[in-house]
Chains A and B, each alone.
Chain A
């Protein structure tokens, strides 16, 4: 229809304005049209930063979100240097290596406080030759977020912010953020094949809460069994908004 094509053209123009003069950058496809279709460009945009947050204790440990993000960022590992900015140095390299991540190349930086962690992230994102920067910070306010975005555009790196309060305590209020996408990551029970003992492939209940130039959604992902698979996840189920909230309420009641 002419109306929709005009709309699409206008949208593309706005997106180009928002990006500045840069050409459309590449994306990481998640490998399922039900997810990729909601993200602008058909995947997680490179040269931007993305935010991942958990809930409850997960906000303190950031273990499940780290496991998810490490798999998500695997296609970037061959493209350059990797930097992980920590506040608490509890990242276990053999665990990362087990997920097919080149842990021996990962440059780990332990910052002393929140401001320093953000400054280090910014510095690393701006550096040429760095492909991905992971940062564990409590919250990214609007100014800091803009600075991260500018740094992403100056360099060629993709940022992954893991929201984390490493030493517990009350969290800061959720500030509006300048992230390209914002995700919530929570674990989901695994379903091993019938008759198989032990744990199945890990699953996550993942919500896309905010997506500039795209649509939000919620899904259950399962890690691909093979570390070298083309896409790190398999989409198990698509969730409505109600499904995302439901299990938490059930658990509280029961």
Chain B
């Protein structure tokens, strides 16, 4: 059976509603224009709208099928108050042809109810949720349709009536779900929202009366906004490890840039310098009307005092940290690292990469066995003449050259880690016998023989490292 998925204001005025049978609707309004519902398209449009709303706050959660929840904690003052912010948001949506309703409240549930069933553009003062919600219908509580229908049948039409019933009875009669929803709406219970980005009070915004697009204007805007946010970080003794700069264009798209710092920082110059080379990638389109900067990984960063003893030395914050930031942002974070020991005896797993200035976990290198200076990511196959099993080779050919082994050490048997083997299987078939050998010129090689002699598969020889 075909039903109406959504109706616009004009259709609503004619008495049509979502969920109505299509044939009934056609009978009522013969000239009704309908189109196929496209839930996937709606979801994509909602996601795009959520992205667009990031200009208001970094914490935006899509609330399918047709809602958006925005956490405006700590950002409303940028618009001169919550009411002004809501007006701005709805006006911009209206300009784009999106009929929207909105409300501001202390809980997501209350805002949801007021936006859908309220008087329009309600802004609830803190703590007044119960009072504002009382006259609203219970359908505003995001209840299951059956529960809502049951409540209505019993004459519980308003939220206020529901809130007046003792909690125990309410839970027994209608299930704990009703109680949870009621608490969420009245800001008595926390609610987990799937924000696009976690809410951050570390957010700055610059709006321009005239759209900007010149490269030097973008540079100036990025400098100004960095100074603005960093001043707040300094005032509160915080530093951030990541900054995201977004240029919101007139056509609703946003150009985003992000930088990471190896140590938390708040120097506006450093932030501006790291963003500067990326600005040329920004396509301003028809112009940029808003610039936002959000700081992430914010942590306390005490003011540093130059100690007398360390005057000759250079603090990491001044010396190597900016270098690492420059390199990591220019080459990519994966190209700058430090090695750290990992408890594994398999050579290629004995090292893990960490961010360069991260705190060491104090694990010592295993220095009891000599290891080569260079280790190939992929061992290279070699042709070998070895006299008897368990002996190092006498001669081997690598990259087309025959090398005569003069001295050798080994074998050092490294077996596959037992916890990686399927349970019950104990055959040491995957053992490698490593030899350190020196050829006639004195060059040193780290060879291994894969598998043992006498197995089903003939052993193979590989060169794994040098030096």
Contacts and interface: CB of A to CB of B under 8 A. Distances in A.
Contact of B365 (A93, A128, A190): A93
A189 B338 contact: no
Interface string B336-373: 11111100000100110000100010000111001111
A92 interface: yes
Query: In which size bucket is the chain B interface?
Result: 35 or more
B343 to A, nearest CB: 12
A107 interface: yes
A226 to B, nearest CB: 13
B407 A123 contact: no
A51 B168 CA distance: 82
A91 B336 CA distance: 13
Contacts of A228: none
A91 B351 CA distance: 11
A174 interface: no
Contacts of A30: none
B319 A129 contact: yes
A189 B467 contact: no
A127 B323 CA distance: 7
Contacts of A67: 373, 467
A149 interface: no
Contacts of B319: 80-81, 127-130
A104 B364 CA distance: 9
A110 interface: yes
B341 A94 contact: yes
Most B CB within 10 A of own CB, among A58, A63, A105, A106: A63
Interface stretch (B130-138, B285-293, B438-446): B438-446
A49 B242 CA distance: 35
Given A111-B331, A128-B319, A63 B373 contact: yes
B408 interface: yes
Interface stretch (B157-165, B205-213, B374-382): B374-382
Contacts of B451: none
Interface of A: 57-58, 61-64, 66-67, 70, 80-81, 83, 89-99, 103-112, 116, 120, 123-124, 127-130, 186-190, 192, 197-200, 202-205, 247, 251
30 contacts: A63-B467, A66-B374, A66-B467, A70-B373, A81-B316, A81-B320, A83-B323, A90-B376, A91-B374, A92-B371, A92-B372, A94-B341, A94-B350, A95-B465, A97-B367, A103-B339, A104-B338, A104-B340, A104-B341, A104-B360, A107-B356, A109-B336, A110-B335, A124-B323, A127-B319, A127-B323, A130-B320, A187-B442, A189-B406, A198-B409
